[in-house]
Amino acid sequence: MSNSSSVASIPVATLGTPRIGPHRELKTALESFWSGKIDEAALVKTAAQLRADNWARQKARGVTVIPSNDFSFYDQVLDTSVMVGAIPAIYGWKGGPVSLATYFAMARGSQGDGEACEHGHAHQHHGHGAPAQEMTKWFDTNYHYMVPEFAKDQTFALSSTKPIDEYREAKVLGYQTRPVLLGPVTFLKLGKSELPDRMSLLPKLLPVYIDVLGRLAAEGADWVQIDEPCLVLDLDAAEKAALRAAYSEFALKVPGLRIMLATYFGALDDNAALAARLPVAGIHLDLVRGRAQAEAIIHLLPADSVLSLGVIDGRNVWRSDLPNVLERLEPILKQVGAHRIQLAPSCSLLHVPVDLDRETKLDADLKSWLAFSLQKMTELSTLGKALSGQRDVVKDELAASAAAAASRQSSPKVHNKAVADRVAALTADMANRRSAFAARAQVQRDRFKLPAFPTTTIGSFPQTSEVRKARAAFTKGTINQVEYDRFLREETRRAVAWQEEIGLDVLVHGEFERNDMVQYFGEQLSGFAFTQHAWVQSYGSRCVRPPILFGDVSRPKPMTVEWWTYAQSLTKRPMKGMLTGPVTILNWSFVRDDIPRSESCRQIALAIRDEVTDLEKAGATMIQIDEAALREGLPLRRSEWKAYLDWAVGSFRIAASGVADRTQIHTHMCYSEFNDIIDAIGAMDADVISIETSRSKMELLDAFVTYRYPNEIGPGVYDIHSPRVPDVSEMTELLLLARKRLTEDQLWINPDCGLKTRGWAEVRPALVNMVAAAREMRARA
Ligand code: GLN
Ligand code: ZN
């Protein structure tokens, strides 16, 4: 390498780290605290230990720009609400420092009644006491944040000194950290308010930020990292003006403190000039998603500003090809000079699992292609050394990295020619049902002769402690396959008999054999791997362990046909085949970075299509393909929505279209707003769609009405996120609201979602009432 050996060493940052701990220590401590098993002092002590360990690990891995205040007891957005005193009146806060009790009341409700369904998607229901703040997805990640709420007459006051306390705590331990704050504009943008323009709150908010920045400077901080990921979104004029105002004000009021403005989750694109001209000392760029943006922005930056280059993927689990990254970095370095460069992951490492070394059961090749948070830190420090004239010192690391990349590129575990050929041979026809919906509907009506307002459920029945115990025993080996199957058959048999008994029209087998709607399929498909400990925080103490999609996907053998056949043998009524759709499987996994997501999705679609046609061959007359996560995959920029929806819907159609007109395809979606994707839902062309609507008083159906959606719809009449049993009249009222919007032929009756998180004690009366509501509707018709 031509670089002289005298170059200064290049700073290496993480931007933020997983806070949950390598053994999910924070989860354990939080849950023990909430259940009264440990006291606040013990919780606080565990948290301090986790932070100390985290700082030590970063230092040991060669990270030189170590963050503080990236820890949180629950969520960094909630921390920010608390820091600035944006605490709704309902929590009874009277000013002054916010107690942990108030903090957790905002996070979980004052009775801790926040409820989650699978994949950590959170829903709260309103019990007694104050409900939790609303929770929603953090950009396009699977992390959820607590939505800030601003009153019309909102005022702000410094109400938590957490950033300063944690800076000081690190300093005492010998670390000069770069504290992280969520930026004021992103904070306001992510909040909700009756105010027409949340940005009008900025002048009232800034003094609190200035106070915090001033205190950090007084404590000795020389840099702070301020996260403004809103800079990768479509921004309106008020938001742009707010960014200019905020950072000018900071430059004026806290001139000595250097700000690293962190942008991530995408490219700045049309916001590049705006961002580059903000009076800050440095800017962080996501060069994984915004691969080519560095070159464009360099020209816009002041000559002395620092560039933080986010070259290691903070959103995914793959090891980098370091020599390749170096090749990208070298011209940038030449252009701006090493003294202006920092290296970093594309975004905080919060979104990747902690430590690959803990995985002892992964295939050795696959393991050699992966990097979790600690391994990514090492990668960054290796890059840093290589760029600081120490390429020799790290030559073995670079060679190993290149070798892993080469092995992945050519491995038969990843590449399967038959799969690639099949995707290449896809024809438009394969994504079309044989006839249009109107014709299919006629054939299906004649075939099924269902009553008006047919009743069904979404698929799963309660995963009781007995079901979980049996699964655990089987996994541990204390019961064998024969015993486990006997248990599952008995559960299924009982569920089917009970559905017949209460008079449901279309039955389900109950999904007792499934651990999780994605994992169950991932485990049976080639191309997926599962980890032992690769947890990532979804929200609060809740963690998920997404499958790793590493190779071309194929289906070695039928996955659900046996269970379906058994279930159908127990009844004459239609038994729905039950599958998870390709888009949902994709969106809830760590995916490949060597081929486009659309390509992986089509591969999964073909595997599901095979399952659909096998079910049809086995005699299934109705098959449901769940696409719960279709909306979640929407890109952050509107301009990219169409391309995504095209391939996502296309994949669903590939999965669904291998069957005859007389076979009825159902789909299901939850946690959705439908307005902005209604065209796509129409284009999916499922014969029947069930959706979550009960809490919206059927208003979600308006989108379907405006669109003149012709196919059949089951709007949920029963909120499955609450243990409350709705009575008959409540459901009839919802159905009458639905009936105003849809024709009699269109309307199905079902709960909002699967019932796996509920107990039988609630499910039994609720479904009995639901069937009674259907009879009531028929009587009125
Ligand atoms: N069929 C799945 C179930 O009933 C669907 C779950 C979901 O939509 N999240 O559990
Ligand atoms: Zn659902």
Query: What separation in Å is there between the alpha carbon of 25 and the centre of ligand 1?
Result: 29
Do residues 152 and 58 both lie within one domain? Answer: no
For residue 222, is pLDDT > 70? Answer: yes
Q: Give the residue, by CA position, lying nearest to ligand 1 atom 4.
A: 754
Closest approach atom of ligand 1 to CA 670: 8
In a domain, 366, yes or no: yes
Task: Categorize the per-residue pLDDT at 7 as very low, low, confident or very high, splitting at 50, 70 and 90.
Answer: low
Q: How far apart are CA 614 and CA 592, in angstroms?
A: 28
Q: Give the residue, by CA position, lying nearest to ligand 1 atom 10.
A: 754
230 is in an annotated binding site: no
pLDDT over 90, % of the chain: 93
Q: How far apart are CA 54 and CA 268, in angstroms?
A: 30
Q: State residue 77's pLDDT score.
A: 98
- Ligand 1 contact, 579 CB (< 6 A): no
In a domain, 711, yes or no: yes
Do residues 270 and 285 both lie within one domain? Answer: yes
- Nearest partner of 712 among 693, 734, 687, judged by Cα: 687
Closest approach atom of ligand 1 to CA 669: 8
Q: How far apart are CA 284 and CA 225, in angstroms?
A: 9
511 is in an annotated binding site: yes
Task: Categorize the per-residue pLDDT at 298 as very low, low, confident or very high, splitting at 50, 70 and 90.
Answer: very high
626 is in an annotated binding site: yes
Number of the ligand closest to the Cα of 118: 1
Do residues 386 and 506 both lie within one domain? Answer: no
687 is in an annotated binding site: no
Task: Categorize the per-residue pLDDT at 128 as very low, low, confident or very high, splitting at 50, 70 and 90.
Answer: low
Q: CB under 8 Å to 339, separation ≥6 — which residues? A: 8
Query: What separation in Å is there between the alpha carbon of 458 and the centre of ligand 1?
Result: 6
Model confidence, pTM: 0.95
For the segment 243-264, the average pLDDT, to the nearest whole number, is: 98
In a domain, 307, yes or no: yes
Do residues 628 and 747 both lie within one domain? Answer: yes
- Ligand 1 contact, 620 CB (< 6 A): no
Query: What separation in Å is there between the alpha carbon of 508 and the centre of ligand 2?
Result: 14
- Ligand 1 contact, 63 CB (< 6 A): no
- Ligand 1 contact, 19 CB (< 6 A): no
Domain count, the chain: 3
Query: What separation in Å is there between the alpha carbon of 579 and the centre of ligand 2?
Result: 12
- Ligand 1 contact, 754 CB (< 6 A): yes
Number of the ligand closest to the Cα of 463: 1
Secondary structure letter of residue 456 according to DSSP: -
Q: Give the residue, by CA position, lying nearest to ligand 1 atom 3.
A: 754
Q: State residue 218's pLDDT score.
A: 98
Best mutation site among 753, 755, 763 for ligand 1, i.e. most ligand atoms within 8 A of its Cβ?
A: 753
Count CA within 13 A, CB hemisphere, residue 658: 20
178 is in an annotated binding site: no
- Ligand 1 contact, 260 CB (< 6 A): no
Among 239, 257, 275, where does a domain finish? 257
- Ligand 1 contact, 627 CB (< 6 A): no
Q: What is the CATH number of the domain that holds 234?
A: 3.20.20.210
Q: State residue 617's pLDDT score.
A: 98
End-to-end CA distance of the chain: 82
Q: State residue 120's pLDDT score.
A: 45
State how far the alpha carbon of 566 is from the alpha carbons of 82, 490, 563, 623, in Å: 54, 11, 5, 15
Q: How far apart are CA 414 and CA 56, in angstroms?
A: 36
Do residues 360 and 509 both lie within one domain? Answer: no
- Ligand 1 contact, 20 CB (< 6 A): no
Tens of pLDDT, residue by residue over 424-462, are 999 999 999 999 999 999 999 999 999 999 999 999 999
- Ligand 1 contact, 459 CB (< 6 A): yes
State how far the alpha carbon of 756 is from the alpha carbons of 513, 546, 771, in Å: 12, 19, 19
For residue 2, is pLDDT > 70? Answer: no
Tens of pLDDT, residue by residue over 572-630, are 999 999 999 999 999 999 999 999 999 999 999 999 999 999 999 999 999 999 999 99
Query: What separation in Å is there between the alpha carbon of 756 and the centre of ligand 1?
Result: 8
For residue 740, is pLDDT > 80? Answer: yes
Closest approach atom of ligand 1 to CA 459: 4
Query: What separation in Å is there between the alpha carbon of 669 and the centre of ligand 2?
Result: 5
Count CA within 13 A, CB hemisphere, residue 17: 33
Do residues 54 and 83 both lie within one domain? Answer: no
- Ligand 1 contact, 649 CB (< 6 A): no
Number of the ligand closest to the Cα of 691: 2
Do residues 633 and 610 both lie within one domain? Answer: yes
In a domain, 223, yes or no: yes
Q: How far apart are CA 281 and CA 305, in angstroms?
A: 5
Closest approach atom of ligand 1 to CA 460: 4
Q: How far apart are CA 300 and CA 318, in angstroms?
A: 32
Characterise 684 by phi-psi region: left (phi > 0), alpha (psi -120 to 50), beta (else). alpha
Do residues 552 and 647 both lie within one domain? Answer: yes
State how far the alpha carbon of 455 is from the alpha carbons of 186, 581, 587, 749, 765, in Å: 44, 22, 29, 5, 15
The residue behind tokens 């050795």 is 364
For the segment 86-106, the average pLDDT, to the nearest whole number, is: 96
Query: What separation in Å is there between the alpha carbon of 669 and the centre of ligand 1?
Result: 8
- Ligand 1 contact, 763 CB (< 6 A): no
For residue 249, is pLDDT > 70? Answer: yes
Query: What separation in Å is there between the alpha carbon of 758 and the centre of ligand 1?
Result: 12
Q: Give the residue, by CA position, lying nearest to ligand 1 atom 8.
A: 628
Work out the mean pLDDT of the chain and round it to a whole number. Answer: 95
Closest approach atom of ligand 1 to CA 756: 10
In a domain, 434, yes or no: no
Closest approach atom of ligand 1 to CA 119: 9
For the segment 713-740, the average pLDDT, to the nearest whole number, is: 95
Among 257, 282, 311, where does a domain finish? 257
Best mutation site among 142, 460, 624 for ligand 1, i.e. most ligand atoms within 8 A of its Cβ?
A: 460
Number of the ligand closest to the Cα of 672: 2
Closest approach atom of ligand 1 to CA 628: 8
For residue 4, is pLDDT > 90? Answer: no
- Ligand 1 contact, 115 CB (< 6 A): no
Secondary structure letter of residue 429 according to DSSP: G
Closest approach atom of ligand 1 to CA 118: 9
Tens of pLDDT, residue by residue over 326-362, are 999 999 999 999 999 999 999 999 999 999 999 999 9
Q: State residue 130's pLDDT score.
A: 85
In a domain, 438, yes or no: no
Query: What separation in Å is there between the alpha carbon of 692 and the centre of ligand 1?
Result: 11
Q: Which long-range contacts (CB under 8 A, 24 or more apart) does 293-298 make?
A: 293/267, 293/268, 293/269, 294/332, 295/332, 296/272, 297/268, 297/272, 298/332, 298/335, 298/336
Q: Give the residue, by CA position, lying nearest to ligand 1 atom 1.
A: 459
For residue 474, is pLDDT > 80? Answer: yes
Tens of pLDDT, residue by residue over 399-425, are 999 999 999 999 999 999 999 999 999
- Ligand 1 contact, 373 CB (< 6 A): no
Task: Check if the beta carbon of residue 314 is closer than 8 Å to that of residue 14.
Answer: no
Do residues 610 and 568 both lie within one domain? Answer: yes
Number of the ligand closest to the Cα of 624: 1
- Ligand 1 contact, 628 CB (< 6 A): yes
Query: What separation in Å is there between the alpha carbon of 459 and the centre of ligand 1?
Result: 6
Do residues 712 and 651 both lie within one domain? Answer: yes
Q: How far apart are CA 590 and CA 293, in angstroms?
A: 24
Q: Give the residue, by CA position, lying nearest to ligand 1 atom 5.
A: 754
pLDDT over 70, % of the chain: 96
Do residues 335 and 389 both lie within one domain? Answer: yes
Tens of pLDDT, residue by residue over 526-564, are 999 999 999 999 999 999 999 999 999 999 999 999 999
- Ligand 1 contact, 460 CB (< 6 A): yes
For the segment 81-103, the average pLDDT, to the nearest whole number, is: 96
Q: In which domain, by residue range, is 74 found?
A: 67-102+148-257
118 is in an annotated binding site: no
Among 257, 278, 313, where does a domain finish? 257
For the segment 658-667, the average pLDDT, to the nearest whole number, is: 98
Task: Categorize the per-residue pLDDT at 129 as very low, low, confident or very high, splitting at 50, 70 and 90.
Answer: confident
In a domain, 469, yes or no: no
For residue 672, is pLDDT > 80? Answer: no
In a domain, 574, yes or no: yes
What amino acid positions are annotated as catalytic residues? 721
543 is in an annotated binding site: yes
Do residues 731 and 672 both lie within one domain? Answer: yes
